Structure 1
């Protein structure tokens, strides 16, 4: 359920208005910096320290960060997905299609937001130790303030890691901004910054609670898990100022850092996978927190549906939907046809993650298999079918953005153990197989179904509607693709569904004809022996990890970074472009045209920054 961290913006806005005597709150919010918190009349008690700490979190809830840009634009286009393939000047297409420039405004909005978060964290890190209760308060007060200090240190490290992820070497500042300060600074090497990130996150983990959270505030284990992810990024390849992809000679040391943190998280025994992969995302759409799997997530909420307080995820990354039974959705996040084809059909993640249909105003699923309609297949994890349909969620939604799941921790363990031990050991196999068993539904009740056309009927003049009901499960759907001489000549299963305990009923109605019938049958699940990996070489297992991260984490903001740190982004984009052209010569895939090796592994330093800070420089080939 939604908790008080969601209203941090409202609290902060009210705080700003109440903190000083001014005739216009709007004027104050527009003109006064967050460094107001550095004044002597703040940090006088725990409540004020808490509000300042919430202000650090608030940066993540902006459209410029996790409300849209970071998970939706900066993670496309890859070998599994792309933003819709139109070529326009809109930033939401220019950035993922690799023709964004230093002038593209989203880059500066993200850059400046992350630095705002860092500056707010610096304020809290400086001010909390100066509070009298920090040193002389009750133990409960000290613990509470130390938790906030830990949150500030973690979030500072996290925001720096995001800057490094997208821009490489960046300006580095560990003190709060002061009036008259010189902000024209050179960039610092990313590995100097990495060392501070590790320090911040380790110190944070020592201060944060070791219990499962009841809201979206970070805890000890999530901090450790994020440290592991950052360590893998540091141990991977990145684009240097030489325009070459390089990794450190001691990269294995970073894998060992990740290994220790991952072991700590798993050994806490607090985390587990939801047995039902589909339920994890349905709960997310209904604002139900799952702290045992969703370890680190960004809070969104707006009673008024304001885009600045909500996320675009439930719209951009939903099934294309017409306004009617459900709220409309743009369906901008497109799944590539060849990625869909790479799934095992018995992997329930395929049909739950990828929509091969659109939803019309009546709530019916309409097939997207004919002609070039498969280029319109979308992400389906956050379908409007699972959302609240509240009026306030028509354009943006209050669905949280999950940054890190326990499934990711397991897959990181698989990758790390394989690399450190020069091949997979038992820990690596168990980690990846735990994710795979859930993905194939082995731990959940029920099965998928197959749907077969039995009678083509007669007299059809337009496409009839196929409806699947009953059977105890959900998600199964089929559609008619072609008609000839009044008969159904093309019929396709759109989704095999999940959790069916008996065969559902299939009905075919409308279209002006009669007599067409279809039946559904339960599909036996894959066996554990078919799902569990075994007997692989190091390279084979690494290839399996790469695929499994795509099957499990698609549209969750990690793919592009994975391909970069593995030094295969350029090769995968070329191969994807070639394979798509072989599949269909005119399949639209802009990345194949615009991506440039030695440039697009990083984003350009924003023009707004380079205009005022001439010594910051620019990334290669921009």
Structure 2
């Protein structure tokens, strides 16, 4: 077990050092080849588990990938009231290339990608054929969604230039396990090229993942993310069809209570969530969703304050306007906070079946189709008298579906991505403003000897 832990730690350290004064300036004693230390099924699976662990950190789905997209679109929505300068700068759109959270999100995403690449390079060492396919699929899944999250944050959005030729991110499909590999300098690929790689990885994952993989990613988790990718590209036919695959699987259904998916773990509503408990979590003091969102006696820093004007946009009588928002009692009483994130030990839903219903409803509405169900039927899964205290919308138009989307998925890390897709501004910042794009960490630009180009405006 110590050997496996060392492999995981070593591969992560290699990625961390990608940003030193030389590309992955690895000390000789750290430059053993991980591939030579991986021998069997358990070693390869340990690397996959390591990948999930990295994705659960505060730098990724443990906090940043769920919170930062909302801070980037904070106008008339929320405000940052904490002391962490990195988050304050993100909320104000005043990021610099040495922003601590800009840097750690980039670094840890590539660490997870590296784990996935090491798995794929060593997949033939897995003797159990079913396990081999599952681990291979999980590796493609991790690599695909991490490139997707990176390109959405560190590049101008899809549609910003003809042919999406704007700079994307560095595509990594080979592992970094040796000193020679560490010194390779790779330029950024275009946004179009990154999306192509993401789609190929998710499609490859779908081909080999099982229908059910416990709390880890399965075929329908990959379909759900594929629907997200196609939505971001405004490819509404493919986004609709991928969402339909998830829905018609029959694995998932909306809970009757709006709070159940956040108050309980792995409910039928959740397609994939980050597993947390008292011993294993993103944090309860300086990281974690409850750390920043909660304002309760003894829980939370009350750093993300919810705009009361946004809460007022919910229809009168909507259970969500009271069930998901509350007046704080902790550090900053009297202000409004989001009750989706109340415990530092709760699981963190990353994608819910509600999003798939919303995707399919919007796509069918735009396309004039009724694949799987009508938009009215899909929207009624989310908005109905039992769940939210409102009657379903009869013959919903596109705006009604979008309104439902912004209300249902609030503070789950989707807002800036939806605004960009819909070409909507946040405050004075247009959907394709340079200020809404993260800078590439300066130390990575410098370490690559400017082969990795910086984003405009930095």
TM-score over 0.5 (shorter chain)? yes
Deviation digits for residues 418-463 of structure 1 (CA, Å, limit 9, x no counterpart): 12228999522211121111xx5x259xxxxxxxxxxxxxxxxxxx
Selected match of 1:255 from 227, 236, 240: 236
**Does 1:162 find its partner at 2:149?**
yes
Distance 1:189 1:200 in 2: 17
**Does 1:609 find its partner at 2:440?**
no
Selected match of 2:274 from 276, 283, 298: 298
Distance 2:231 2:31 in 1: 34
Please provide the CA RMSD for this pair: 3.1
Q: Tell me the CA shift for residue 160 of structure 1.
A: 0.5
Distance 1:557 1:159 in 2: 15
SS state of the match for residue 438, structure 2? coil
Distance 1:35 1:54 in 2: 22
Deviation digits for residues 118-161 of structure 1 (CA, Å, limit 9, x no counterpart): 111111011112x272xxxxxxx100111001000111001000
Match of 2:393 in 1: 533
Distance 1:49 1:434 in 2: 40
Q: Tell me the CA shift for residue 562 of structure 1.
A: 0.6
Distance 1:13 1:596 in 2: 47
Selected match of 2:86 from 70, 91, 105: 91
**Does 1:150 find its partner at 2:137?**
yes
Match of 1:337 in 2: 308
Q: Within 5 A, what are the aligned runs for 1:53-452?
A: 53-76=48-71, 77-79=73-75, 81-85=77-81, 90-129=85-124, 131=125, 133=127, 141-168=128-155, 169-177=168-176, 178-181=178-181, 182-211=183-212, 213-215=213-215, 217-235=216-234, 254-283=235-264, 288-290=265-267, 292-303=268-279, 307=283, 312-318=288-294, 320-322=295-297, 327-355=298-326, 357-359=327-329, 368=334, 376-383=335-342, 387=343, 397-421=344-368, 427-437=374-384, 440=385, 442-443=386-387
Distance 1:407 1:428 in 2: 13
Stretches (4+) displaced over 4 A: 11-14, 17-20, 30-37, 308-311, 422-426
Change (3 A) 1:35 1:313: farther
Which structure ranks higher in relative contact order (CA pairs < 8 Å, sequence separation ≥ 6)? 2
Q: Tell me the CA shift for residue 302 of structure 1.
A: 5.0
Change (3 A) 1:143 1:17: closer
C-alpha contact 2:269 2:354 (8 A) present in aligned 1: yes
Change (3 A) 1:49 1:35: farther
Q: What 5-or-longer segments of structure 1 have no aligned partner?
A: 1-10, 21-29, 134-140, 236-253, 369-375, 388-396, 445-524, 575-591
Change (3 A) 1:201 1:310: farther
Corresponding residue pairs, total = 427
Q: What 5-or-longer segments of structure 2 have no aligned partner?
A: 11-25, 156-167
C-alpha contact 1:82 1:336 (8 A) present in aligned 2: yes
Distance 2:204 2:37 in 1: 28
Change (3 A) 1:601 1:304: closer
Q: Tell me the CA shift for residue 545 of structure 1.
A: 2.2
Distance 2:94 2:436 in 1: 13
Instruction: Report the structure, 1 or 2, having the larger helix content.
Output: 2
Structure with higher Rg: it is 1
Instruction: Report the structure, 1 or 2, having the larger strand content.
Output: 1
Q: Tell me the CA shift for residue 273 of structure 1.
A: 0.4
Distance 1:191 1:150 in 2: 23
